[in-house]
Structure 1
Amino acid sequence: MTQSRAAWYFAWALLAPAVLYIVIIVAWPLIETVRLSFTNASLRRTYDYVGWINYQKIFDRDFLEIILRTFTWTFFSVLLKMVIGTFGAVLLNCAVPGRHVFRLLTMPPWIVPMAIGIFMWGWMYNGQFGMISGLLQRFGFVDGPVAFLAYGHSAYWATIVTDVWIGVPMVTIYFLAAIQSIPRDLYEAAWTDGASRWMRFRRITMPLMAPAVITMSMLSLIATFNSFDIIWILTQGGPSGETTTMIIDTYATAIGSKKYGEGAARAVVICLFLSLFCIAYFRMTRRLAGTDKA
Structure 2
Amino acid sequence: MKQLQKVGRTLVMGIVNVTPDSFSDGGDFATPSAAIARGRQLLAEGADLVDVGGESTRPGAARVPVDEELRRVLPVVAELAAEGAVVSIDTTRADVARAAVDAGASLVNDVSGGLGDPAMLITVAELGVHYVAMHWRGQSDVMQQLTHYDDVVRDVARELAGRRVAALAAGIAPERLILDPGLGFAKTPDANWTLLAHLDRLAALGQPLLIGASRKRFLGELLDGREPVLRDDASVALTALLARQGVWAVRTHTARAHADAIAVASRLAREAVGGVE
- Could you say which TM-score interval applies, normalised by the shorter chain? under 0.3
TM-score for both structures, normalised by structure 2: 0.24
* Greater RCO (Cα-Cα under 8 Å, separation 6 or more): 1
More helix by share: 1
TM-score for both structures, normalised by structure 1: 0.23
Greater C-alpha radius of gyration: 1
More strand by share: 2
